[in-house]
A and B are shown apart, each in its own frame.
Chain A
Amino acid sequence: MSTENINSILVADLGNVHTRLVLIDLVEGQYRLIASARARTTAEPPLGKVALGLEHAVQSLTNLIGREILSRDGENLFITPESGGHGIDMFLATGSAGRPMRVFMVGLTSEVSIPSGQRVLAGSYITLTDMLSPDDFRSEEEQINAILSGEPDMILIVGGTDNGADDILLELVHKVARALSLIRHGVMPSVLFAGNKTLRPQVKALLEEYTNVFFAKNVRTSYEEESVLPAQVELAVMYDEYRTKSPGGFAEVGRYSMVGVVPTTQGYISAMRYLNELPQKGIGPLCIDVGSANSTILGGAHKELHYIIRTDLGVGHNAVNALNAVQYENVTRWLPFDITADALRDYMHNKQLRPTAVPGSTEDLMIEQALAREIVRMMFNQAREAWDLGEGELLPNFQPIIAAGAILTEAQHPGVSAMLLLDALQPTGLVELRLDPHNLISSLGVVAYLKPVATVQAMETGGLISLGTAFCPLGHVRQGRDAMVVQIKQQGAATINHTVRGGEIWMAPLLPGLMVDVTVKLRHGLRIDGKRRIKRRVITGAAGLIFDARGRPLVLPRPKDRAMRYLDWQMAMMGRERRVKAADVSAAEEEPLPDLESLVPELDDIQGRR
């Protein structure tokens, strides 16, 4: 279908908790985000019809902007094409709601093809039930039960280089055929073959009798070359087919969408490929989405895109799993109050029973934010190893860092969102932080399939919320001692001078969108990009500018100091005066600060005297 005359695009993301909508339209020749809305997802029983939540969200959008979008003709859900300021030209959908697809994997070697297969699966919401390879020493009976007992929805077969040896892989395919021939009741899994292409006719002949067989380009055409994208695209198609058969009424929404219901992660991957190609300040962008049932991390490292999806980590539907994975001690170290392991477990079980509910008290909110920090930390630690990013606690220079998922994007204040990211990821140097509260990135990623220019323009015209730049020096700080001496010059306004003490974080109170000149002098032992004095022109964000003098690696306060320090940090990041040190701050602001240049030797001297 031609997409030439498409102006307005409505994209829905069917999440586990929310159905989010973004409307993109042509404004003065450029595609822009016009409006967004959301409603509760209605895929699960007792409603079991995801289109209902979609309709609620569209109605909210209509109420917001006065544009009629829902059709009343009874045949179509939407008024298409756009006419007279109403309706839309195109509807697209992404989704993370629904049960993850169960996949059994067959691979030739545990060193080459199986890791490639795992990378294929990393792009979708799947649960791996088991694996089979030639070095599997279980009996034939056990192997057949391994294939079938997990009731897989799909079997992925990878292995062999094109035109390479084929006997061993073919023997594995025979085992799969034998297993499939035994299924009489329940779900017959589809098969995706992404191995040695010369085997395709035999694979088809062996398996097509029992099930649908899909083929994708070999993930390893040669030993050196890996190509997972074609298999991922095919997997996305199969996932869509799987979901249309699953409960939740996804088939109906899939019919309205020109691309079916694409996994949200595929949207992310598509958009991140674009972001990864842009001129970069750091090694590439990093995007993290902490959802209710799933969590996703995507990173572009030196133009190569990596991603990990965890279908067992989330702050709602998977809160209990997440707590078990990250462990009690790691969650409570972020809490300024005591909570027993039993009470925390009870909390997570209750959250899992009612995942759509939001925290009702500050304590509840802190618990969920603590869990989110640890999920992010765990995801990144896994990514560090999988993406070969080296060892250590600190984050490589990803720019920008983008957060999605309500727990990260809808904190009490944008400053708190920023702090959650800083706590969990511990970036160093200067880092740009952004929020994606509307799931715009994944939506635009799907738009790119059909209308790439809309993706590029909508991304550039500011669909994301910039939190601002965080200045995060590397090194250890001394608590309470001057650590960062900050000077912020803005046009037409007074210069701001502020000293950030060791162990503190400060959000400069600036309106978003201002271009300011920032000079930062650092105490001896602290460095940004290897320097003790830096001067940068930056644009402020929703969290103004952030100066994090808590040191890297971040050392958390001792339990007895936690309550005070955490509340200080939180107040600072909400732009409120800290309770105990308010007098100090006002004094610092009233008295003119010494010349920045002269301060460096002073700090050196202090250091030397110690």
Chain B
Amino acid sequence: MPYNPETTVIQGLARVIRERRLPPQAIPRMSQMLVGAHIEAVTQVLEGDVLRDYRIIDVADYFNLPRATADQVAELIETREGQRVQFGGILARRSRGRRTRTLISPVDGLVIKVENGRIYIQVNERVLEVMAKIPADVEEVESHRVRLIGQGAVLQCAWGNGKFNYSVYKYLPDEGFVGLSKLDPRISEYRNVALISTQPINKGDLLVAQQHEASAVVAPAMPSDLREFAMGLTFPVLLTEGFGQRRPTALIYRLLADNIGRQASFDAAVPDRWSWERPEIVIPLPAGGLPPTPTLDQALTVGAMVRITRAPWEGVVGQVVEIPTTPQVVDSGLRVPSAKIRLSNERVGLVPLANLELLG
């Protein structure tokens, strides 16, 4: 019976195709991107205004003109539909000279409609800037979307705090964050670099990272109740496995170690079921030819390398040695479709197919 497991890309060298998008409700600003251009990870590829709440401004009411007709009020209005207004900008004016009274915009925003003596403004919540996040060639450009192609090591993670950075990285000293806390952050060699921990982290560790102005923190796991705290940090926090006490995937940390000294993209996208973005680390690498593009939908076969996602061997990468044709009783007591996996210590374990991930 064919089974197509989920895929988490953990590859030493792969073709990295990524789309960067503005959210649908954002109003795109003019893009300067050119197809074929080579761009850096920190290049801004898209820009847009995210608008939120509406303000209704009653001009007649403001000027205290209860008997004025709509036409009379319309003559006072100095803005029009589609116009961007800034806080303090003049929307309407009554009389001239010294007796002039002006109605000013209470917000930055976009005039959506002017009707019946009312001005409807949609408030400009923020300007959204979307970065390339990887050094890449621009393949396609649309108002809401840019498609990029790069290459390098790709390490997809389990969770991120929504931040991004591009920097060099270092493994923590032997004593981990405890060791780091003993160093003077002003002169520490760990200042302004991404910190890689092979142990789960806690709040104290994140505070030490903050003191050292870390450009990112990568760790296997942290307590789930730190999510809000981590979201408030200015630097990316990437968890390779998940929450609580989780065993690190050795392959991820080995690939990081193999490329130490290089710059990497730490994209700590918050996992969202319907988003195309996943939290990931991309280490740009030169390639002689065209590296392979990760395959995202392939059937599980004997010989495939897989990662186990649940206890008792979570995080272990092994090789499929047999896929029994009938469901098997596994450690939990469930009878489920399973595969026999050769673990790193040459032991063979029976693992539910649902708990296996292909590595791209």
User: Hey, which bits of chain A sit against chain B, CB under 8 A?
Assistant: 39-40, 42, 44-48, 52, 56, 59-60, 63-64, 99, 140-141, 144-145, 148-149, 151, 181-182, 184-187, 247-248, 317, 342-343, 345-350, 353-354, 356-362, 364-365, 410-412
Residues of A within 8 A of B354 (CB): 40, 356-358
**B71 contacts the other chain (Cβ, under 8 Å)?**
no
Residues in B5-41 with C-beta less than 8 Å from chain A: 5-7, 24-27
Q: When the two chains form the complex, which single residue of B5, B54, B244, B355 contacts A148, counting CB atoms closer than 8 Å?
A: B54
A508 to chain B, nearest CB (A): 21
**B113 contacts the other chain (Cβ, under 8 Å)?**
yes
Q: When the two chains form the complex, which single residue of B1, B246, B313 contacts A60, counting CB atoms closer than 8 Å?
A: B1
A133 to chain B, nearest CB (A): 20
Contact A99-B314, Cβ < 8 Å, known A184-B122, A365-B333, A412-B333 = no
Q: In whole angstroms, how far apart are the Cα atoms of A247 and B313 in the complex?
A: 34
Cβ B314 vs Cβ A360 within 8 A: yes
Q: When the two chains form the complex, which single residue of A42, A140, A149, A186 contacts B53, counting CB atoms closer than 8 Å?
A: A149
- Encoded as 1 (CB less than 8 Å from any A CB) or 0, chain B from 24 to 66 comes to 1111000000000000000000000001111110000000000
Residues of B within 8 A of A353 (CB): 158-159, 242-243, 271
Cβ B311 vs Cβ A361 within 8 A: yes
Cβ B25 vs Cβ A151 within 8 A: yes
Residues in B258-304 with C-beta less than 8 Å from chain A: 271, 273-276, 278, 296-297
Residues of B within 8 A of A56 (CB): 2-4
Q: Which residue of B has the minimal Cβ distance to A246?
A: B274
User: Hey, which bits of chain B sit against chain A, CB under 8 A?
Assistant: 1-7, 24-27, 51-56, 110, 112-113, 120, 122, 158-159, 223-225, 227, 242-246, 271, 273-276, 278, 296-297, 309-314, 330-336, 351-352, 354-355
A366 to chain B, nearest CB (A): 9
Q: When the two chains form the complex, which single residue of A186, A247, A410 contacts B334, counting CB atoms closer than 8 Å?
A: A410
Contact A185-B244, Cβ < 8 Å, known A42-B297, A358-B355 = no
Cβ B312 vs Cβ A184 within 8 A: no
Cβ A185 vs Cβ B310 within 8 A: no
Cβ B51 vs Cβ A360 within 8 A: no
Residues of A within 8 A of B53 (CB): 145, 149
Q: When the two chains form the complex, which single residue of B122, B243, B244 contacts A182, counting CB atoms closer than 8 Å?
A: B122
Q: In whole angstroms, how far apart are the Cα atoms of A148 and B55 in the complex?
A: 12
B316 to chain A, nearest CB (A): 11
A221 to chain B, nearest CB (A): 36
Centre residue among A40, A145, A354, A362 by max chain B CB count within 10 A: A354
Residues of B within 8 A of A362 (CB): 331-333
Contact A47-B296, Cβ < 8 Å, known A342-B225, A357-B354 = yes
B94 to chain A, nearest CB (A): 22
Q: In whole angstroms, how far apart are the Cα atoms of A141 and B121 in the complex?
A: 11
Cβ A39 vs Cβ B4 within 8 A: yes
Contact A347-B244, Cβ < 8 Å, known A45-B275, A56-B4 = yes
Cβ A349 vs Cβ B224 within 8 A: yes
What are 18 sample pairs from A and B whose C-beta atoms fall under 8 A apart?
A: A40-B6, A42-B4, A42-B297, A44-B273, A56-B2, A99-B273, A99-B274, A182-B54, A182-B113, A182-B120, A185-B25, A349-B224, A358-B334, A358-B355, A360-B311, A364-B311, A365-B333, A412-B333
Centre residue among B24, B56, B333, B351 by max chain A CB count within 10 A: B333
Residues of A within 8 A of B159 (CB): 353
Residues of B within 8 A of A346 (CB): 223-224, 242-245
A589 to chain B, nearest CB (A): 26
Centre residue among A181, A317, A350 by max chain B CB count within 10 A: A350
Contact A46-B296, Cβ < 8 Å, known A56-B2, A346-B244, A357-B355 = yes
Cβ A64 vs Cβ B224 within 8 A: no
Contact A141-B56, Cβ < 8 Å, known A56-B2, A360-B314 = yes
Q: In whole angstroms, how far apart are the Cα atoms of A59 and B2 in the complex?
A: 8
Q: In whole angstroms, how far apart are the Cα atoms of A63 and B325 in the complex?
A: 11
Contacts A317-B273, A350-B246 known; 5 new A-B pairs at CB < 8 A? A345-B225, A346-B244, A359-B334, A360-B332, A412-B335
Centre residue among B51, B314, B354, B355 by max chain A CB count within 10 A: B354
Cβ B26 vs Cβ A185 within 8 A: yes
Cβ B309 vs Cβ A357 within 8 A: yes
Cβ B24 vs Cβ A145 within 8 A: no
Centre residue among A39, A346, A411 by max chain B CB count within 10 A: A346
Q: Which residue of B has the minimal Cβ distance to A99?
A: B274
Centre residue among B1, B225, B276, B336 by max chain A CB count within 10 A: B1
Residues of B within 8 A of A40 (CB): 3-6, 354
Q: In whole angstroms, how far apart are the Cα atoms of A126 and B5 in the complex?
A: 29
Contact A63-B2, Cβ < 8 Å, known A144-B56, A350-B244, A354-B309 = yes
Q: In whole angstroms, how far apart are the Cα atoms of A410 and B336 in the complex?
A: 9
Q: In whole angstroms, how far apart are the Cα atoms of A316 and B253 in the complex?
A: 28
Q: When the two chains form the complex, which single residue of B4, B223, B276, B313 contacts A45, counting CB atoms closer than 8 Å?
A: B276
- Of all A-B residue pairs in the complex, the 7 with the closest CB atoms, nearest first, are A346-B244, A360-B310, A186-B25, A412-B333, A360-B311, A349-B224, A350-B242
Residues of A within 8 A of B278 (CB): 46
Contact A342-B223, Cβ < 8 Å, known A59-B2, A184-B112, A357-B310 = yes
Cβ B275 vs Cβ A187 within 8 A: no
Residues of B within 8 A of A63 (CB): 1-2
Residues of A within 8 A of B122 (CB): 182, 184
Cβ B275 vs Cβ A52 within 8 A: no
Q: In whole angstroms, how far apart are the Cα atoms of A185 and B335 in the complex?
A: 50
Residues of A within 8 A of B52 (CB): 149
B105 to chain A, nearest CB (A): 15
Cβ A44 vs Cβ B1 within 8 A: no
Q: Which residue of A has the minimal Cβ distance to B159?
A: A353
